[in-house]
Amino acid sequence: MADTQRDNAFHEINEEQMPVAKNKLHGWKHFAGLYAGEHVAATEFVIGATFVALGASTRDILLGLLIGNLLAMCSWWLLTAPIAVETRLSLYNYLNKIAGNSMTKLYNWANVVIFSVISAAMITVSSTAVRFVFDIPAQLNWYPNSFWFVAIVLAVGSIVVLVAMYGFSTVADFSKICAPWLFVIFIAGSFTLFPALSNHVLGTTTLSGWGDFITIGDHSIWTGFTGSGEKGIGLLEVIGFAWAANSITHFGLIDMAIFRFAKKKSYGLFSGVGMFFGHYIAWISAGIMGAGAAVLLKTTITSLDPGDVAYHALGLTGFVIIIIAGWTTANANLYRAGLAAQSIFVNHSRERTTAVVGVVTVIIACFPFVFSQMLPLLTYAGLLVVPVGGIVFAEHTLFPKLGLTRYWAKYQKLSRSVPAIATWALALTFGFGLNALDVMSFYYLFIPTWIFSIIVYTLLAKKYGADKDYTKEVAAEVLEQQQIVAFQTDQAIDDKPFIHDKSGISKLLNAVSVISLLIITGFACQVMFFSESMHIYDVNKAQFELYCFIFTITYFGSAYMSLRRQKSLNN
C-alpha cells in the first residue's frame, strides 16, 4: 500500500522536476556532439570578426584563446559537472530546494529572457544567409528594414522551435550530425580565402612557412589596432573573453541541465570539444574569412554580416553553414529557456513552455541588434547569473565541509530564502559597481562577483539557521531520494536495451559521410596550397565551391539516413 501511494505521488510530479533516472543517462559521445554542435556555431562568425575589429594581435589571439578556452573547459569539468552528476538536477530545481519558490521563479524568468535573446541572435544570423539568396539588403541596423527579412526570420525560427520542443535527445542527435561537418567547413572556409589575403599582403598566393602566416595575420587580420588606428585589446582581454563568454553556463551552473544526464563527472572535459573546435579554431577561421571577404569586396569587416562572409568564402555552402550553425546554438539555448519556463509553470509540459517561449524568441529575432551586440550580451548575462552559481556552489560543496546543512531552507519550509535573495542582490550591486568604477576589465568581473556571493551567502545562511541540527529532515531527504530511485527503477523495467546498428548498409552510409568530409577537405587544401597565381586560385576556388556543396548534400543525406536506421532499431 505504501509503495502504491509512493508511486502515485511520484507519478504526479513532472519528470523534469525529479533527478534524472539511471536509464536516461548518456555516454560521452552525446556531450562531445552537443558541445561541438553548440559551440561551432553561427556566433563564431560574429565573434571571430569582432576580435579583428577590436584590434587584437595575432600572438594574442593564438595564445589568449588557447589559455582562455582551457580555463573555460576546466570550469565545466571542475564546477558544473560534479554538482550536476551528484544531484542529477537542473540548476532550476536545485535552486528551488535551497532558495524557495520566490527567488527560483525570479531567476528562471531571468534565464528565460537571457536564453531567448541568445537563441534569437542565432536565428537572426541564420536568416542573414537566406536573405542573401533573395537579394535582401544586409541588416546592419537595430531594427529590420525589409518585410521579406522578417518573413525569413519567421520561417527559420519556426524550424528551430520545433526541433527544440522535442528535448535533449533530439538536440543532441542534431548536433552530432552537424558537428563534424561544421568543423570541416570552418577550416575549409579559412583555407579558401587565405590565398587572397596572402596575395594582398605578400604579393603571392602561396606561403613559404609559419612566418608568412604570422606576417599576414599581423598586417591584414589581427593587426593589433582598431579600424580607427587606436591600440586594440591585449592578451588579458582575449583570455578574459574566451573564459567569460560561457560563464553563464559553467560558473553560473546553467549547464547542470545538460550534465545531469552524464554518466560520469569527467564528461565535463568534453566541453573542450566545443571550446577548442569552436571557440579556438572556428573563431580564428572566422577572423580569416571575415578579413578575406573584406579584401575581396574592398570594404571593411564591420560592413559585412555573417551571410556576406560565408558566401564569399564557401559559395552556396555558405548559406548552409550559416543556417545550420545558427540552428545548433539556437536549439540548445531555446531548450534551456524552455526548461527554465517549465520550472515556473510546473503544471505545463516542457514542450508547451518551449513553444510559447519560442514564439517570443522568433519575434525578438526580427531585430538584428541582438546578434550585433553578442560580446557585451554574453559577458553581462554571465555577470547576472554567476552569483546564483556561487550560492549553489557554496551550499553543495562548501556547506558539508563547514558543518552547515544542505537544503536547510527547505527543511525550515521557507517559501523564500532571505540569504539567497540578499546575496544575489548584493552580488549584482558589487559586480556592476566594479564595472561602473572601471576597477578591472569587465571580462573578469564574474570572478570576484562569484567569490563575493560565496562568502556573503555562507555568512548569511549560518546566521539564518544553516548550522542548526536537521538530523530528522536529512534522514527524510535520504529516504525520499531512495524512494525516487526505486520508483524510477520500476518504471525502467520495460525499457529495451540500446541496439547498435552494425549492418552493412549503415556501415556504407557512415563511410560515405566520412569520405564526403575528406573530399571537401581535399578541395580546400588544393585552394590553400596549390594556387600558384590568382588565376589558378580563382579556378580552384570555383571548383571547391561546386564540390563542397555537392558533398555537403551527400554528407547530410548519408548521415541522416544512418541516424534514422539507428533510431528505427531502438523504437
* Residue at grid coordinates 573573453: 241
Q: Give the Cα separation of 88 and 248 in Å (integer).
A: 19
- Exposed/middle/buried for residue 244 (C-beta within 10 Å: 0-12, 13-18, 19+): buried
pLDDT for position 370? 65
Question: How do the pLDDT tens digits run along the chain, 571 residues long?
Answer: 455 555 556 666 666 678 888 888 888 988 887 787 677 766 777 778 778 888 899 999 999 999 999 999 999 999 999 999 999 998 878 988 888 888 888 888 888 888 888 888 888 877 776 676 677 776 666 677 777 778 888 887 887 787 777 655 666 666 678 878 888 998 999 999 999 999 999 989 988 888 889 999 998 889 888 877 788 889 999 999 899 888 988 999 989 988 999 999 999 999 998 898 888 998 999 889 888 888 887 877 767 777 778 888 888 888 888 777 777 777 777 887 887 788 788 777 777 888 888 888 888 888 776 666 666 777 788 888 899 999 999 999 999 999 999 999 999 988 788 999 999 999 999 999 998 898 888 889 999 999 999 999 999 999 999 999 999 999 998 888 888 888 877 776 766 666 776 788 888 999 999 999 999 999 999 999 999 999 999 999 999 999 999 999 999 999 888 888 877 776 6
Cell numbers for 158: 519556426
Beta bridge partners of 236: none
pLDDT for position 136? 73
Q: Give the Cα separation of 210 and 127 in Å (integer).
A: 37
Q: Give the Cα separation of 47 and 324 in Å (integer).
A: 17
What pTM value is reported for the model?
A: 0.85
Closest listed residue to residue 68, CA positions, set 47, 49, 83, 53: 47
pLDDT for position 68? 95
* Residue at grid coordinates 570572478: 447
Quick check: 475 and 5 in contact, CB under 8 A? Answer: no
Question: In Å, what is the CA distance from 199 to each residue of 203, 208, 220, 536?
Answer: 4, 13, 11, 13
Beta bridge partners of 225: 231
Q: Give the Cα separation of 92 and 94 in Å (integer).
A: 6
Instruction: Enter the DSSP assignment of 231.
Output: B
- Residue 271 CA from chain centroid, whole number: 10
Do you know the residue count of the chain? Answer: 571
pLDDT for position 141? 67
Quick check: 123 and 157 in contact, CB under 8 A? Answer: yes
Q: Give the Cα separation of 496 and 415 in Å (integer).
A: 41
Closest listed residue to residue 403, CA positions, set 482, 342, 470, 455: 470
pLDDT for position 4? 57
Q: Give the Cα separation of 330 and 322 in Å (integer).
A: 12
Cell numbers for 50: 569582432
Q: How many CA atoms lie within 13 A of 137 on its CB side?
A: 9
Q: Give the Cα separation of 19 and 2 in Å (integer).
A: 21
pLDDT for position 11? 63
3-state secondary structure of 503: coil
